[in-house]
A = this chain, B = another copy of it.
Amino acid sequence: MKQFLDYLHKITPLSADAQAAIVAKLQKAAYSKGEVLIKELSKCEHLFFIEKGLARAYYFKQGKEITDWFGLENSVIGPVVRHFPTKTGMHSVELLEDTVVISISFYDLQELYDKYHEIERLGRMIAIQTILSMQQKIDSMQFLTAKQRYHDFVKAYPSLLQRVSLGDIASYLGMNQVTMSRIRKI
C-alpha cells in the first residue's frame, strides 16, 4: 500500500495514525484486461486507486460510447468527487489492461472523514486538484481547435496513444474519429 500512501502524502501530509487508519480499510485486487471495474459509477460504493494498469470511464450518449476519463497509474476514481448522477444512462469503468487497484468503501471513507480532520482535508485537496484539471479541460474545449487538442493530448499522454484505441481518444477529446484521423494524416 506504500504507493497509495505516497500518492496521498504528496497531496497533504498525514500523521502515522491517520495513515494506519486508512491502510486498515484498504483492499487490493487484481483484474484482467477487459473486465468491468465499475458497472454504474453513480451507484459505486467504493473509491479506487489504480496502482498499476489502465482504466477507462465511459457512458452512452445517443447510442454512442463517450469516453470521459482515462485512469493511468496513480489515478483515483470513485464517489469522492464523482458521485453525481449527471450522465444519462450507464456510466461505467472498464479496464484496458491487466490492472491492480486499491479500494476503500465509501462508507469507510466517510467514517475516516468523520474521525480524522486531516483526512477530511485530504478529501478537500483532492477535490481542488480535480477542479484544476477540469478547468484545464474546459479551457481546452473552449479555445483550442480539434487539431490543437489532439496534439496537446499526444504531448501530455504519449503512452496512451499506444495503449488506447484512437476511437476512444477521439471521443475523449470531443471530436469525431474521422476528424481525428484527418488531423493525424497531416
Residues of A participating in the B interface, judged by any CB pair closer than 8 Å:
61, 66, 81, 84, 86-87, 113, 117, 120-121, 123-124, 127-128, 130-132, 134-139, 141-143, 174
Closest to A172 in B: B142
- Do B131 and A121 have beta carbons less than 8 Å apart? no
- Do B61 and A135 have beta carbons less than 8 Å apart? no
A-B contact pairs, 12 of them (CB 8 A): A84-B131, A84-B135, A86-B136, A87-B139, A113-B121, A127-B128, A127-B131, A131-B134, A138-B138, A138-B141, A141-B174, A142-B174
Interface centre among A132, A135, A141 (most CB of B within 10 A): A135
Copies per assembly = 2
Tell me, in angstroms, the Cα distance from A141 to B174 when the chains sit together: 9
Given contacts A66-B142, A86-B139, 20 further A-B contacts (CB under 8 A): A61-B143, A81-B131, A84-B131, A84-B135, A117-B117, A117-B120, A120-B120, A120-B124, A123-B124, A124-B124, A124-B127, A127-B130, A130-B131, A131-B131, A131-B134, A134-B134, A134-B135, A137-B138, A138-B138, A141-B141
Closest to A136 in B: B86
**Chain B residues with CB below 8 A from A138, complex form:** 134, 137-138, 141
Main secondary structure of the interface of A (DSSP, over half): helix
**Chain B residues with CB below 8 A from A130, complex form:** 127, 131
Tell me, rounded to whole Å, the shortest Cβ–Cβ distance linking A59 to chain B: 10
**Chain B residues with CB below 8 A from A134, complex form:** 131, 134-135, 138
Interface centre among A121, A136, A174 (most CB of B within 10 A): A121
